[in-house]
Amino acid sequence: MEELSSLQLSEEDIKSLKETFYQQAMELIESLIQEVLSLEEKSDKGDSLKTIKRIFHTLKGDSASIGLKELSSLTHKAEDLLQAVEDGSIEVDGDLTDLLLKTADCINGAIELNLTGKDTPLVPVIAEKIGSFLKGRSIEQHAACSYDAPLVLGEYEKLLLAENRKQGKGIYFVRLHFSADCQMKSAGAMIISQHITGIGEVIKASPPLDDREIESAAIIELIIASSMNAEEVRKFCSIPGIVDEVTAEEFQEQGLAIAHKGALEAKGESARQDKLARSTTIRVESERMDQIMDLVGELVIGRSMIARLFSEFEERFPREEMLGRFAYVNSFIERSLSDLQRSVMKLRMVPIDRVFKRFPRVVRDLAKASNKDIKLMIHGQETEVDKGLVDMIGEPLIHILRNAIDHGIETMEEREALGKERQGTISLEAYHQGNDIIIEVKDDGRGIDVKKIKEKALEKGLISKGAMEKMDDKDAIDFIFLPGFSTAKVVSEVSGRGVGMDVVRSVVDGLRGSVRVKTEVGAGTTFMLRFPLTLAIIKALMFSACDRLFAIPLASVKEITRVFVKEVALINGKEVLRMREKVIPLVRLEEVLNLGSRSRKMDKLFVVIVSIEDKDIGIAVNKLVGEEELVIKSVTDQWVNTNIVGGASILGNGQVVLILNPLVLIKKAGERAVNDELLAANSGQ
């Protein structure tokens, strides 16, 4: 840390610099991994190679500026490796991709450890691997490199060229091919430089004659000013043992002018874009965004309080002259707060690509570990979702991908025998549907054998034989989300222990989402995850049950009906409603939440029909309160010990309302039905 300490910065300043570097470096490393993975897919790799080299160059400069000399040296070696690839000395293949990915991982690990004041021993190891790779894979190429475009000169080089023109000298483009006998190219380049001074002046050299890149170069291209003609220059530059082939031709200044103009325009446009990005983008800590969201939530509660006050004022003083002014102010505050709320919600929305861009690397590594050839196709990565959702959905998606790779996609030999392409395909897609965000993970593998799932459930005692025969495929597939449930015969490094899919269901439930599975044996499986667009504020239907106030997301409410108590039927001891030739289970909140005895006996009931994933239940309620926009507050186990309650909110009058999770309610109703089947089966034995 000599560089930073020599600036006499405080510890706080140094810490701030390191954190800024860390944030920028993480973004660069993510881009680096994406570009490296794209190398294997693109036929034209030029743009990706330039981007990768630029990222390494940026990391080199940034790491050196905060005193990470070892990391700076590693990134410099990585630049050497990329230069060798650009020169054609090293081919792009799987081994190169693996090395570049390991380098990215090493840089990432070194930066994270440095924040804690530790060093990683991997940096010198990876640096040595790069050095060995350069020595072992370097191949000399003596074939002439095509000179597709003229060299681009800087302002100083243009002045040199003009000055030599005035002196009557010729300007030549010279290409020197290193001899196979030249074992030390850097020394050879030094001799070339000294030799050429005898005939004129070197205006431009690529690579520079004093650069380390010379060692991996097969050819040197020069722009030379000399009094000799082209043939004399060619003969003079042929140096036995160092240069075995020379071409020399007049340099076309017209081409230079065009190239220079284009380069300047591109450079100017790039600078303008960079300036625009710097002037319109502000980096804000996520904690500050959460604080703003919390404040907006409090304002929403305040808006509700004002609305209630206005309603009371209007009812008590219907002829008051100030009523119109009060109504105007109330409307103005409501409209402004709604605009503020929408604006803050947009600030919380981020592209789902922040999650998706991790997965090409995950799929590549897992496919390699499973000895399978798998292609990942990503669609809808620009779809925007709530930041809180982005932070949470990565883990369940990884578990789904792992299962698709290990259980879903067949081996290359199996696929070929089945008449499929040897390369399997996994599709990852995100899109909006109403007020929800849908994420689909689809594979073209073997599909899920529902029969095996039922047999495994029966073996584990999760279902009776009679219930198994009646159970439809959709309900049977739900068993895969139970902890420890797996139909795999062999436990692999990737999956097979029954750990993972239960995590998927747990995280999805916690985010008030749902997961649905579609499968066809031999054709593949699709996991469809559905989440609400926002996790902070929802529109909800409020009602009372057993003298308590509850709310349920309005998007889950299918309809509201009122029935006579005598219309409630009993099937296997459970209350159900018959509506339009469909039997709907009836849920009493006092029973599932253990709230005590039922409320007073009534002739009629309000029933809220809730629908999730084509499954319906009815919630018996005493009174409907109405629709309300609620700010969701998390509820800890200290206050509520059931996941049926997904959160709470505070109304304008200070009353607390519990927000129900409809998916868990439906799941609980299903579990009770299965348990009753098991009890009946056991009692009959």
Closest to 142 measured CA to CA, from 247, 231, 234, 223:
247
- Whole-number Å distance between alpha carbons of 71 and 3: 14
* Residue found under tokens 């496919």: 367
Three-class SS of residue 522? coil
* Residue found under tokens 């909006």: 432
Q: Which of 40, 57, 590, 643 is catalytic?
A: 57
- DSSP lists the bridge partners of residue 220 as 176
Dihedrals phi, psi of 674, to nearest 5 degrees? -65, -45
- DSSP lists the bridge partners of residue 576 as 569, 585
The percent of the chain in helix, strand and coil, each rounded to the nearest 5, is 50, 20, 30
Q: For the sheet with 582-587, list strands across it.
A: 557-564, 604-612, 615-621, 582-587, 574-579, 569-571
Active site residue 57: yes
- The full 3-state SS of 574-585, as one line of letters, equals EEEEEECCEEEE
- Whole-number Å distance between alpha carbons of 155 and 140: 34
Closest to 40 measured CA to CA, from 2, 96, 78, 105:
96
- Whole-number Å distance between alpha carbons of 113 and 106: 11
Active site residue 269: no
Q: Which of 79, 213, 215, 628 is catalytic?
A: 79
Q: How many of the other CB atoms lie within 10 Å of CB of 221? A: 17
Q: Within a 13 Å sphere around the CA of 623, how many CA atoms are in the beta-carbon half?
A: 8
- The full 3-state SS of 613-642, as one line of letters, equals CCEEEEEEECEEEEEEEEECECCCCCCCCC
Active site residue 215: no
Q: Which of 164, 330, 403, 661 is catalytic?
A: 403
Beta strands (DSSP E) in 348-435 are: 349-351, 374-379, 384-386, 424-433
Q: How many of the other CB atoms lie within 10 Å of CB of 625? A: 16
CB 150 within 8 A of CB 252: yes
- DSSP lists the bridge partners of residue 243 as 178
How many angstroms from the chain centroid is the CA of residue 656?
36
Q: How many of the other CB atoms lie within 10 Å of CB of 342? A: 10
Catalytic sites, residue numbers: 57, 79, 403
